[in-house]
Amino acid sequence: MSTTDDTIDVNREFTAHTADQQVWVRVLFTGRILGVQVEPAEMRRPGWQIAARIQACSDVAYLEGQVYHRKFIQSRGASEAAWDWMASDEDLAAARDRLSRL
């Protein structure tokens, strides 16, 4: 998970893309969007559809980072109160399902 056993890799990046690979979003562990790539064929869609697909990719990449963080905290034996509010595998699965339907 990290460069050392007791710290989380805050420079880790997470990437998500649409099923047709026309939209890609790369997000830093902290949630900062590092990049968005929209392939030429995607530009034939209405703007609101492109935006929805970018947002769905961003959601998946962000939640992957949050689940990574949650699992790191859990692996260190933190109390449930430290991580129970964080995104879960179920949240990530729901975001992936939404993305797959776009």
Q: How many Cβ atoms are within 10 Å of 67's Cβ, its own excluded?
A: 19
Class of the 13-100 domain? Answer: alpha beta
Closest residue by Cα to residue 62 from 8, 7, 16, 11: 16
Q: Each residue of 8-17: pLDDT tens digit?
A: 898 999 999 9
Q: Each residue of 42-80: pLDDT tens digit?
A: 999 999 999 999 999 999 999 999 999 999 999 999 999
Query: pTM above the 0.95 mark?
Result: no
> How far is Cα of residue 43 from the mean position of the Cα atoms in its chain?
23
The ranges assigned to domains in the chain are 13-100
